[in-house]
Chain A
Amino acid sequence: MSSLPPVWAEGLIKYFGKQQAVKGVSLSAPEGQIYGVLGPNGAGKTTTLRMMLGIIDPDGGERRLLGESNPRNANNRVGYLPEERGLYPGMKAREAIAFMGALRGLEWAEGRKRAGVMMEEAGLGHATDKKIRQMSKGMAQLVQLLGSIVHKPDLIVLDEPFSGLDPVNQEHLESLIKAEQKRGATILFSTHVMAHAERLCAGLSIIAGGLVRFQGTVDEARGRLPMRGSYTPSQDGSDVAGLLPAGAIHDGRVWRFTVPEGGAETLVQGLLASGHGIAGLTMERPGLHDAFVSIVQQARAEGELAA
Chain B
Amino acid sequence: MKSLFSYSLIIARRDFLAVVATPAFLLFLLAPLFMIVLAALGGSGASQVAVTSANAARIAVIAAPADVEDIKAADTALRGLTGRFAGPPELEVIVTKADPTKEAEALIISPKTDYYAVMHGPLDKPSIAHRELARNSAAFLSSLANEVMRERKTGTGFGAELSKPTLTAIQRNESSAGGRQMTAYLSVFVVFFLTLLLAGQAVGMLAEEKSNKVIEILAAAVPLEAVFLGKLVGMFGVAVLFVTFWASMAGLAVLAIPGLARLATLAPAVGLPTFIALCALYFTMAYMLLGAVFLGVGGQAGTMREVQMLSLPVTIFMVAMFGMSSAGANSPGSTLATFTQWFPFSSPYAMTARAATDPAVLPHIMALAWQAIWVAITIWVAARLFRVGVLKSGSWKSAFGFGRSAAN
By a beta-carbon cutoff of 8 Å, the part of chain A in contact with chain B is 13, 16, 50, 53-63, 69, 72-73, 75-76, 80, 82, 84-91, 99-100, 102-105
Contact = CB atoms under 8 A, between A and B. Distances in A.
Interface stretch (B76-84, B138-146, B194-202, B390-398): B390-398
Nearest to B18: A90
A201 B194 CA distance: 57
B1 A73 contact: yes
A82 B217 contact: yes
A56 B391 CA distance: 7
Contacts of B7: 103
Contacts of A63: 407-408
Contacts of B14: 88, 91, 99
Contacts of B222: 75, 103
B406 A60 contact: yes
B1 A86 contact: no
Contacts of A104: 221
Contacts of A69: 408
B388 to A, nearest CB: 10
Contact of B391 (A55, A58, A84): A55
A91 B405 CA distance: 37
Interface residues of B, number: 28
A206 to B, nearest CB: 24
Interface string B22-66: 100000000000000000000000000000000000000000000
A88 B407 contact: no
Interface in B193-223: 212-223
B2 interface: yes
Nearest to B210: A86
A287 to B, nearest CB: 32
B217 A100 contact: yes
Contacts of A102: 10
Contacts of A75: 1, 221-222
13 contacts: A16-B392, A50-B220, A53-B220, A54-B220, A56-B391, A61-B408, A62-B408, A76-B2, A80-B217, A88-B212, A90-B18, A103-B10, A104-B221
A88 B214 contact: yes
Given A57-B405, A57-B406, A86 B215 contact: yes
A87 B215 CA distance: 9
Contacts of B216: 55, 82, 84, 86
A55 B1 contact: no
Question: B1, B215, B391, B393: which has the most chain A beta carbons within 10 Å?
Answer: B393
Contact of A105 (B2, B220, B394): B2
Given A90-B22, A103-B222, A55 B393 contact: yes
A91 B208 CA distance: 14
Given A16-B392, A55-B393, A84-B213, 17 more contacts: A53-B220, A55-B220, A57-B393, A57-B407, A61-B408, A62-B408, A82-B217, A85-B213, A86-B216, A86-B217, A88-B18, A89-B212, A91-B14, A91-B18, A99-B14, A103-B7, A103-B10
Contacts of B1: 72-73, 75-76, 105
Question: A54, A91, A103, A104: which has the most chain B beta carbons within 10 Å?
Answer: A103
A73 B221 CA distance: 10
Contacts of A13: 406
A273 to B, nearest CB: 63
A73 B223 CA distance: 11
A100 B220 CA distance: 11
Contacts of B408: 61-63, 69
A248 B11 CA distance: 64
Nearest to B211: A86
Contacts of A103: 7, 10-11, 217-218, 221-222
Given A60-B406, A88-B212, A89-B212, A72 B217 contact: no
A58 B394 CA distance: 8
Contact of A80 (B214, B220, B407): B220
Contacts of A100: 217, 221
B10 A99 contact: yes
